[in-house]
Amino acid sequence: MQQWPLHALDGGYENVPFKVFTQRDLDRIEPLQTLPEAMRFEMKVVSTVLPFRVNQYVIDELIDWSNIPADPIFQLTFPQRGMLAPEHYDRIAALLEAGADKATLNAAVDEVRHALNPHPADQMEMNMPRDEEGNRLDGIQHKYRETVLFFPSQGQTCHAYCTFCFRWAQFVGDKELRIAASEASTLHNYLKRHTEVTDLLFTGGDPMVMKTKHLKAYLEPLLEPEFDHIQTIRIGTKALTFWPHRFLGADDAGELIELLQRMVRAGKHVAVMAHYNHWKELDTEAAREAIRSIRSTGAQIRAQGPLIAHINDDPDVWAKMWKMQVKLGIIPYYMFVERDTGARGYFEVPLERAWEIYRQAMQRVSGLARTARGPSMSASPGKVEIQGVTEINGEKVFALRFIQGRNPDWVQRPFFAKYNPDATWLNHLEPAFGEAKFFFEDEYEAIREGKLAAATEA
């Protein structure tokens, strides 16, 4: 395993070259050459449909190549045959084997992608706001009253791609499936008009692939008095796992750290929303140095990620990861349920099993690690937490509650669903106790119809 140099002679950090591999480079990834040819062909088939991107740091530092294919980081970053339904896999494999022309192959790939629910939870129809003239504001999502998501166009890629990613449609080159905004003024003008917003989340892709000068153009104006209502600035990123050198030896790493520090000193709560899926991601010198560097600015690091088969469906993995995060000064924040999109069939875990893993992991950590909420489904009505499986009046049920909702009045209201051991998502659940609908359904449908009507009229 290669040891990456950290400290440079000038007292800073080495500027380690960033070397990335995509589907066209599969044959150039040296460790893959030891794998069976059939496995390498499977990777080619799957990566023709779903995005693939990995870098040398992940290959050298995070993957145990003696434990393939079971290694969790290998599963996290390299395509697996089971990620496509058998009929989808066979269709694309046959075209590749037959040497199909580009147009035929692309048409088939496009059909498969659209069958994979590329934008779950009505993101395109219900979450994207409009201006005074009714024009959709691409690159902004405003689902919950206090929080706005922003997708800067310069941040719509990642240092490597997670195989389970629910935003996979951002990375396949289809403009119709992409959410992005290129003008900072679009964001700033929207926030000026919506003073109910307190939290701004930069997401992607990964905003940390951006040059600091671009990040500044979005962030620095928020220090003006007219944006005092924006109390918290969150930056969603996987860079602490996939490229911690972004915070260490990159050309503008020092400028980035200084920007975070300036935002904190100006009175903003800056939260780096770090996506972690396994404790191995925390276990390199570069990763820990990057964490220390960010924390030195006064910014917080909060950790979140989904519970996913083949990678972390084990309470020991979560308990160890949460303990390591607390030790490093990171706040465990969310355990999510794998969303109903992309390769969900390969990665999803039944809701009952997800709750059992969460509960068992919680039993193994101290109070400081019990800040992680979950298991949480980020469904269209809101974030729904599975609180447990119990029995009430002789009926076995799931106990549920909203952590966040399209209507804030739904938040923290308990409700119950019939026990279903096979359920993996909210739409698999039915109301318990003979009820015809969940308490929120009529209001949600009215909200949805209103949003869809507005989209149609525009």
Instruction: Tell me if 400 is assigned to some domain.
Output: no
DSSP line for 51-79: --EEEHHIIIII--TTSTTT-HHHHHHS-
First to last CA, the chain: 55
Write the single-letter amino acid at 189: N
Specify if 92 maps to a domain: yes
* Residue 41: partners with Cβ closer than 8 Å, 6 or more residues away: 93, 96
Task: Report the alpha-carbon distance of residue 221 to residue 43 in Å, rounded.
Answer: 44
Pairing of strands 140-144, 300-307: unpaired
Q: What is the pLDDT of residues 348-372, one digit of tens each?
A: 999 999 999 999 999 999 999 999 9
Closest by CA position to 452, among listed 126, 191, 118? 126
Residues in the chain, total? 458
Q: Does residue 63 lie within any of the structural domains?
A: yes
Residue 195 domain flag: no
Output helix, strand, coil percentages for the chain, rounded to the nearest 5. Answer: 45, 20, 35
- pLDDT tens column, 106-125: 999 999 998 987 766 566 66
Joined together, the tokens standing for residue 110 give 């496009």
- Model confidence band, residue 258 (pLDDT cutoffs 50, 70, 90): very high
Q: Which residues of 436-448 are buried (b: 16+ CB within 10 A; e: fewer)?
A: eebebeeebeebb
Residue 41 included in any domain: yes
Confidence of residue 178 (pLDDT cuts 50, 70, 90): low
- Give residue 33's pLDDT: 94
Q: Could you report the per-residue pLDDT of 270-324, keeping only the tens digit for each?
A: 999 999 999 999 999 999 999 999 999 999 999 999 999 999 999 999 999 999 9
Per the domain annotation, does 99 fall within a domain? yes
For 403-450, the pLDDT digits (tens) are 999 999 999 999 999 999 999 999 999 999 999 999 999 999 999 888
Q: Residue 79 sits in which domain range? A: 20-114
Mean pLDDT value across the chain: 91
Task: Kindly report the backbone phi and psi dihedral angles of residue 127, in degrees, each rounded to the nearest multiple of 5, phi listed first.
Answer: -100, -15
Q: What is the pLDDT of residue 172?
A: 62
Strands 373-378 and 331-337: parallel
Q: Evaluate whether residue 101 is within a structural domain.
A: yes
Domain total in the chain: 1
Q: In sequence order, what DSSP letters do the residues of 222-276 get, joined into one string?
A: GGSGGGTT--EEEEEE-HHHH-GGGGTTSTTHHHHHHHHHHHHHTT-EEEEEEE-
341 inside domain:
no
